[in-house]
Chains A and B, each alone.
Chain A
Amino acid sequence: MSTTTTEPAAAPVAAAGPAKASGRGPWRLVWDQLWAKGSARFGLIMVVLLVLMAVLAGPLSALGGWNAEEFDKRAVDAYLGGLPKGDFGGVGARHWFGVEPATGRDLFARVLHGGQVSLLIAFVATAVVVVAGTLAGIAAGYFGGRIDSLLSRLMDLTMSFPSLIFMIAMMSVARDVNRILLMTVVIGLFGWPGVARVVRGQTLSLKHREYVEAAKVGGARSWRILTREILPNVSGPIIAYTTLLIPGMIATEAALSYLGVGVRPPTPSWGQMIAESIVFYETDPTYFLIPTVFLFVAVLAFTLLGDALRDILDPKGGRS
């Protein structure tokens, strides 16, 4: 997850370095406001928990005693169409969250590993989107003219493209490619114009500010102005936007997996688990409930956190 925030955050932290020593730095202020807000605190804690769970999926599921791919014939009743034995989809000491019908794979292990895939794709895709979007936006806004019109038309083009259909087509055509990488690239490809537009708008309003003019007069080159003067000032909206992008990415990954163009079996992902549990909704609702709850909590937590961050870092954008 760190990849998404360090890049834009690096500059302001460095800039705020001396101020921090003397008192409360701007990031400390952000943290305080965030922690003071109940919903944001809940979001933050859940995000940290989910990320920990995903990162520690291997060791955690080893605690449960099963890996995500191991079949357990004893946990399902073959004579009942492979339904889990026991109440609530086989929840118990042997399988904490129950098992998948027909195969008997441990749902605890699968939901953790599924989170790993879902969150990894969401974070990396978001990083791709944010980096590409920021670069394009800042370039379009600062340099203007031909570069601006070229990049802006490209943004319009990408935004008006029927992205989901294209993604499905891409995923079915490219069969022998690493699915996680492909999903990341495909999702990232269609997300960047959103960020780019926000950044371009901010850059446009910033580039005529006095301190930017002053830096120009002082002989600073474009690179320095962009990285030292403009980027730190657009980083607030970028961070807020990033946090709000993640739930969308999780949902897109789930949607693609749901449509059957997701990761390769037997690797689980939340979307895939939900898609497979649909046919069992009457006979084994627990199977449906578990990945759904995880997906719901993840999207909710990121949305709450993102909302709070936007209120703090980008109050104008929040009100509009």
Chain B
Amino acid sequence: MNRRTQTALAAAIAAALTLGLGACGSKDKSDSGSGDTAAASSTKGPGADTGTAVGGTPVKGGTLTVLTNQDFAHLDPARNWTLPQMDFGTRLIYRTLVTFKAEPGDAGNQIVPDLATDTGRPSDGGKTWSFTLRDGLKYEDGSPIKSSDIKYNVERSFSPDLTGGPDYAAQYLAGGENYKGPLTGEHLASIETPDDRTIVFRLKRPVAEFAYTATLPTFAPVPPAQEKGTQYDMRPFSSGPYKIESYDRGKQLVLVRNTNWDPSSDPIRKAYPDKIVVTQGLKGGQVDDRIIASDGADASAIEMPWMRPESVAKVLPKADVKARMVAERTGCTDSLYLNTSKAPFDDPKVREAVMWAVDREAQVTAFGGPAIADVATSFLPPSLTGGVKADPLKIPAAGDAAKAKDLLKAAGKTDLKVSLTVSLGDKTRGEAIQQSLSKAGIQVTVNTVDPSAFTDTLGDAKAAPELTINGWCPDYPSGATFLPFLFDGRTIKDKGNQGNYSQFRDQATMDEMDRIAALPDVNEANEAWKKLDEALLQKAPAVPLMWQRRALLVGTNVAGAFGAPGYAGMIDMATVGLKDPAKSQG
């Protein structure tokens, strides 16, 4: 007993001594500047670069395994509006009028005809859109795909029973206000099918980018004879290269080849594997670890919907594992929203100061580093600004606290105290904001809220905090699905406010949004959105923080895997396959 305590004491004294000695040695720490980190971020980070596929060109055959921690929300094409379901459904089970090119990089944002022979012919100044179907299209039972089947599914998206799907058809189609879907036997007059291969949509107002809208699963065919109401979700009738063999919800989905699908009618889908098995309900970390190890059948596996950011450190140091990671931009922008409805952020000068104060580099690091996120320099992500980063303000990525301080002094607002509400998982990012704003003299209190309560907390417009972090993803590459959702003052609701968390009401901005929405030319509209983006950055209702990338791992036997920009960086299911099909039967 005695001896033991003495050793403990000795150890304690030794520890104290080392501490003291260490203190003498390391006093010169004041060089904690960000000089060399700024230099580091200018060099290219590791991870799969935009425009490359992992594993080369696949060979036909074999079984591809998909490991995921969740079940598909909806596979019914009228209800499918979230990822990874949209990628999975439209690339494997059903075809749409128009779809995204199955190519890595910016090419993947371009649209190509799928069921249709072209990307749609607008007339009447963009208020009428007609499509002609290809010849010889068949369902899984060999029956022909008719234009009336597409009309039928678009009508289904109006049905109040079939929830969860995109509501663009309801927003755009003429006479859709009181329509309740085809289940009651009524049909919509604004969709015409003069013959079995032609479909015409009549819209309320000109929609220049309707061809992009037609990539949504809403524009896939569903034969009325197969209608099963909400049960259709369990087994959508196949018009694509695969059909559902079995589906045990939350456990396993097995897809086998649809022998009636004709590859010559489909220039997009390569359909390499013979069979696709989706194993659901696994733990997130377990999925990453299994694919890193790539044992047996896991070598032929890909994952959905994310690699966990904590796994980054397990992947990047190993060159062979790193080579199997894809990290395409999601096309979403994460921003720090400044509540413009109350002090101090009702003052544009204070907002500008925050714009300069925020250390966006620290945001990227807190999220997992440059391998899975990029510093954002504008609200519109690069996919909406022609693939190039727009950077009109030229603020250094690490922020400029001194300049922010000067701006605050000029505005006559010092010693500001504000609160920031973040979701529990974003605590570190919240602390990084707190740290960078404190350097500019703004004191931030961070409130962490459980993810389930997060949206409700922000949705109460009156009680909303001064600051919050949130993201927005466009539904398809058009500024129309982006800026109006974030900064149109007319969308603000007292309860359940969503999107415009800045509560930004600016007449000039709203007028410009209306003007752009009415433009008949897509390119002209895109240019106008870019201009509006710059104007908004000057007004600073929010601070763009970062553009996330979707990190995903694939097994050693997987080939042709890349993040599809059109599907927020999910692995493009149209082209993924195996290197050696024989190895897949593990």
Interface stretch (choices A11-19, A137-145, A259-267): A259-267
Q: Which of A45, A64, A78, A175 contacts B370 (CB 8 A)?
A: A78
Q: Does A70 contact B (CB under 8 A)?
A: yes
Q: Does A80 contact B (CB under 8 A)?
A: yes
Q: Does B312 contact A (CB under 8 A)?
A: yes
Question: A42-B8, A70-B32, A266-B446 given as contacts; is B27 within 8 A of A82 (CB)?
Answer: no
Q: Does A6 contact B (CB under 8 A)?
A: no
User: Smallest CB–CB gap between A170 and chain B, Å?
Assistant: 14
Set of chain A residues within 8 Å of B1, measured between Cβ atoms: 37-39
Interface stretch (choices A185-193, A246-254, A276-284): A276-284
Contact between A79 and B371, CB atoms less than 8 A apart: yes
Q: Does A102 contact B (CB under 8 A)?
A: yes
Q: Which of A37, A102, A283 contacts B428 (CB 8 A)?
A: A102
Question: In the complex, A80→B370 CA distance in Å?
Answer: 9
Set of chain A residues within 8 Å of B22, measured between Cβ atoms: 64, 93, 96
Q: Does B586 contact A (CB under 8 A)?
A: no
Task: Tell me which of A49, A73, A103, A264 has the highest count of chain B C-beta atoms within 10 A of its own C-beta.
Answer: A73
Question: A265-B448, A282-B314 given as contacts; is B41 within 8 A of A78 (CB)?
Answer: yes
Q: Does B29 contact A (CB under 8 A)?
A: yes
Set of chain B residues within 8 Å of A60, measured between Cβ atoms: 19
User: Smallest CB–CB gap between A233 and chain B, Å?
Assistant: 31
Given A93-B22, A266-B435, A282-B314, 14 more A-B residue pairs with CB atoms under 8 Å apart are A38-B1, A49-B12, A63-B20, A66-B29, A73-B362, A73-B365, A74-B34, A78-B37, A78-B41, A96-B19, A103-B431, A283-B310, A283-B313, A284-B313
Q: Does B412 contact A (CB under 8 A)?
A: no
Q: Which of B26, B309, B368 contacts A65 (CB 8 A)?
A: B26
Binding site for A on B (CB under 8 A): 1-2, 4-5, 8-9, 12, 19-20, 22-23, 25-27, 29, 32, 34, 36-37, 40-41, 45-46, 308-314, 316-317, 361-362, 364-366, 368-372, 398, 424, 427-428, 430-432, 434-435, 438, 445-448, 450
Q: Does A172 contact B (CB under 8 A)?
A: yes
Question: In the complex, A63→B19 CA distance in Å?
Answer: 8
Residues of chain A from 45 to 104 with CB closer than 8 A to chain B in the complex:
45-46, 49, 60, 63-66, 69-74, 76-83, 93-94, 96, 101-103
Task: Please list 14 pairs of residues, one from A and one from B, whose beta carbons are closer than 8 Å in the complex, sorted by A's number.
Answer: A38-B1, A38-B4, A63-B19, A69-B431, A71-B362, A73-B365, A78-B369, A78-B370, A79-B316, A81-B371, A94-B29, A103-B432, A260-B450, A265-B448
User: Smallest CB–CB gap between B44 and chain A, Å?
Assistant: 10
A-B contact count (CB 8 A): 132
User: Smallest CB–CB gap between B307 and chain A, Å?
Assistant: 10
Question: A93-B22, A260-B424 given as contacts; is B40 within 8 A of A280 (CB)?
Answer: no
Contact between B313 and A81, CB atoms less than 8 A apart: yes
Q: Does A207 contact B (CB under 8 A)?
A: no
User: Smallest CB–CB gap between B29 and chain A, Å?
Assistant: 4
Question: In the complex, A284→B448 CA distance in Å?
Answer: 25
Question: In the complex, A72→B3 CA distance in Å?
Answer: 42
Contact between A102 and B366, CB atoms less than 8 A apart: yes
Contact between B428 and A103, CB atoms less than 8 A apart: yes
> Nearest chain-A residue to B27 (Cβ)?
A65
Question: In the complex, A276→B311 CA distance in Å?
Answer: 14
User: Smallest CB–CB gap between B527 and chain A, Å?
Assistant: 34
Question: A64-B26, A70-B32, A80-B312 given as contacts; is B427 within 8 A of A265 (CB)?
Answer: yes
Contact between A63 and B23, CB atoms less than 8 A apart: yes
Q: Which of A65, A103, A265 contacts B366 (CB 8 A)?
A: A103
> Nearest chain-A residue to B398 (Cβ)?
A73
Question: In the complex, A65→B24 CA distance in Å?
Answer: 10
Q: Does A41 contact B (CB under 8 A)?
A: yes
Question: A45-B9, A71-B362, A175-B447 given as contacts; is B432 within 8 A of A81 (CB)?
Answer: no
Set of chain A residues within 8 Å of B27, measured between Cβ atoms: 65
Q: Which of B32, B317, B435, B450 contacts A74 (CB 8 A)?
A: B32
Contact between A264 and B446, CB atoms less than 8 A apart: yes
Question: In the complex, A110→B424 CA distance in Å?
Answer: 20
Set of chain A residues within 8 Å of B398, measured between Cβ atoms: 73
Set of chain B residues within 8 Å of A70, measured between Cβ atoms: 32, 435
Question: In the complex, A93→B12 CA distance in Å?
Answer: 19
Set of chain A residues within 8 Å of B40, measured between Cβ atoms: 78-79
> Nearest chain-A residue to B420 (Cβ)?
A265
Set of chain B residues within 8 Å of A81, measured between Cβ atoms: 309-313, 316, 368-369, 371-372
Question: In the complex, A49→B435 CA distance in Å?
Answer: 31
Set of chain A residues within 8 Å of B370, measured between Cβ atoms: 78-79
> Nearest chain-A residue to B24 (Cβ)?
A63
Set of chain A residues within 8 Å of B432, measured between Cβ atoms: 71, 103
Question: In the complex, A78→B22 CA distance in Å?
Answer: 27
Contact between B430 and A265, CB atoms less than 8 A apart: yes
Set of chain A residues within 8 Å of B309, measured between Cβ atoms: 81
User: Smallest CB–CB gap between A307 and chain B, Å?
Assistant: 14
Question: A260-B424, A265-B434 given as contacts; is B32 within 8 A of A72 (CB)?
Answer: yes
Contact between A79 and B45, CB atoms less than 8 A apart: yes
> Nearest chain-A residue to B308 (Cβ)?
A279
User: Smallest CB–CB gap between B290 and chain A, Å?
Assistant: 14
Set of chain B residues within 8 Å of A96, measured between Cβ atoms: 19, 22, 26
Question: In the complex, A44→B178 CA distance in Å?
Answer: 77
